[in-house]
Amino acid sequence: MEGKMDSSRSAAEIADLLGAWPRGGGPLYRRLADTLRELIDQGTLTPGERLPSERALAAALRISRTTVVSAYDSLRSTGILDSRQGSGTRISSRVAPVRSDGWTASGNGNPMYRNLFQREEGLISTACLSTPALPGVEEAIREVVAEDLPALMAEGSYHPSGLPALRQAIADHYGGRGLPTTPDQIVVTNGAHQAVNLVSQLYLRKGSPVVVEDPGFAGCLDLMGDRGARFVPVPLDDQGIDGTGVRRAVAEHAPHLIYTMPSYHNPTGTMMSVARRRELGELSARHGVPVLEDSAYTGMRVADEPPPLAAFAPRGAEVITVESLSKIGWAGLRVGWLRAPAEMALRLSRRKVLADLAGPLLDQAVTVRLLGRYDELSRQRSDMLREALDHMEELLREALPSWEWKRPDGGAALWVRLPGVDARAYVQVALCHDVDLVPGAIMSAHTDGRHSECFRLPFAYERATQEELVWRLARAWRELDRYGPVAEEPVRLVV
């Protein structure tokens, strides 16, 4: 997101990047030093970047200042950090010398994805949603192997835009939902994430204004931020992104793109109304602003879900719709797609070729069969998640009655509001109870700490995991309440 490549970051931002750093053996200061070193080695923290003061980082992590002092001292002794009077503590240029043109390696520091690389035994991570395979996925795989494999093995070339049978199946899928579509409007991708990335590459450059929802999905905000996007956040209401706010943003900033998640919004689970979808479509046609409609975040669904936003867009509107089966069928099926005007689909296909030439044909053949069972898969997943949501709400009301949330229209997570508490402070305490949470400030394009009292809480777990999760959260909440909120420096120590 904008501002993430500055020469210094706040203590709260560093705390977010550190993730589940207290886990493991050995002295606490050593674990902190090792995790900071990992962030430096991977390029997330760069040479010359200033670190927070010992006092500020200790307050953000809710640990003793002595622990941070010892960690910094350890890194100074090995030449990783430099400290000078008046300029604070910085990452040494000796770690990775800066080239004459100023270039340094930089890594993606999104804390949501940190635990994809570090699977900690015993840690309950809520950073990524859990989507185990439905029985229909295995059935489709077996059918493809038994019936479709000879034809697939005979394929002698790549299909950069996707397997023709899958493009036709996706077009038919949209046609059945009230959005007439032809196969040349479809590009098959390796998951919806790649689709959003391709759209970002095509439309955005450094300084491109992008209208986004606030809060929004941090993963896609990072993709656009990596292109140099300048975000124009617009708040949500019960119908989706605020229409007045979007019109004002278009008039004042002439955005290169509007990014929205109408079905279902991540992290709030809001379903955008038909009237709001029509309004955005007409806005796109009137002002020539492309709209990226991200419909990848699905799960628990409403019975009367409206057609995609693109179905309400008048002729001339440029709407790109992104979707996948990962949140309905199986997270391990990395097949997504985008629907766009045919000429834009061709341009996006060319970028797809540069990325990976083409996607795997076997996975796409499985997806063809799954699309034929889309309604049944959707019903099964919705039933499972509705039961999980009911149980999670029951557990939370009993164990944490002061917490606030609005039951989502759909999706697979709650957007929880903590009464009078900074979620980042609670996140640090929860880590000590083996729970990894995503604070609300990460889910915002604003840099002023908005949604600091909120965090995203997925509920798509088995009952035993739900009960253990809520038990740990309740223990962490009692501990935070006992020691009081974090001020400039904590009064009592958690660890």
Range of the domain at 42: 11-109
Q: Is the pLDDT of residue 1 over 90?
A: no
Query: How much is the pLDDT for 237?
Result: 96
Has residue 129 been placed in a domain?
A: no
Residue 72 has pLDDT above 80, yes or no: yes
| Domain assignment present for 493 | no
> What are the pLDDT digits (tens) for 388-435?
999 999 999 999 999 999 999 988 999 999 999 999 999 999 998 999
Q: What is the pLDDT of residues 277-308, one digit of tens each?
A: 999 999 999 999 999 999 988 767 777 889 99
**Same domain, yes or no, for 390 and 357?**
no
pLDDT, average across residues 246-253: 97
CATH number at residue 58: 1.10.10.10
Backbone angles phi, psi at 474, to 5 degrees: -65, -40
Residue 4 is assigned to a structural domain of this protein:
no
Same domain? For 180 and 294 the reply is yes
User: Does residue 494 form part of some domain?
Assistant: no
Residue among 408, 395, 397, 386 at smallest CA distance from 464 = 395
Q: Distance (Å, rounded) from C-alpha 72 to C-alpha 14?
A: 14
Q: Is residue 327 domain-shared with residue 225, that is, in the same domain?
A: yes
Model pLDDT, residue 489: 37
What is the reported pLDDT for 486? 42
- CATH of residue 359: 3.40.640.10
Same domain, 169 and 288: yes
- Does position 232 have pLDDT exceeding 60, yes or no? yes
Q: Give the tens place of pLDDT for each residue, 175-205.
A: 999 999 999 999 999 999 999 999 999 999 9
CATH number at residue 427: 3.90.1150.10
Residue 127 in any domain: the answer is no
Domain boundary among 315, 345, 375: 375
- CA angle centred on 307, ends 212 and 280, rounded to 5°: 35
Confidence at residue 3, expressed as pLDDT on a 0 to 100 scale: 36
Same structural domain for residues 330 and 413?
Answer: no
Q: How many domains does the chain have?
A: 3
* Whole-number Å distance between alpha carbons of 103 and 168: 45
Which residue, of 375, 396, 431, is where some domain finishes?
375
**CA 339 vs CA 19, 181, 189, 211, 423: distances in Å:** 36, 8, 11, 20, 37
Task: Tell me, yes or no, if the pTM score tops 0.85.
Answer: yes
Q: Are 127 and 348 in contact (CB under 8 A)?
A: no
Same-domain check for residues 316 and 173: yes
**Omega within 30 of 0 (cis) for the link into 174:** no
Pick from 49, 51, 41, 48: which is nearest to 107 by CA? 41
Nearest to 481 by CA among 423, 432, 428, 426: 426
Mean residue pLDDT across the chain:
89
Question: Does residue 495 lie in a domain region?
Answer: no
pLDDT value at residue 490: 37
The three-state secondary structure class of 232 is: strand
**82 and 183 part of one domain:** no
Quick one: 326 and 417 in the same domain?
no
pLDDT tens digits, one per residue of 465-492:
999 999 999 999 999 866 554 443 333 3
* Domain co-membership, 94 together with 180: no
Same domain, 371 and 382: no
N- to C-terminal Cα distance for the chain? Answer: 31
Task: Judge whether 489 lies within some domain.
Answer: no
Are 385 and 366 contained in the same domain? no
Q: Are residues 453 and 363 in the same domain?
A: no
Q: Which of 375, 398, 431 is the last residue of a domain?
A: 375
Exposure of 181 by Cβ count < 10 A (0-12 exposed, 13-18 middle, 19+ buried)?
Answer: buried
315's tokens:
């002729």
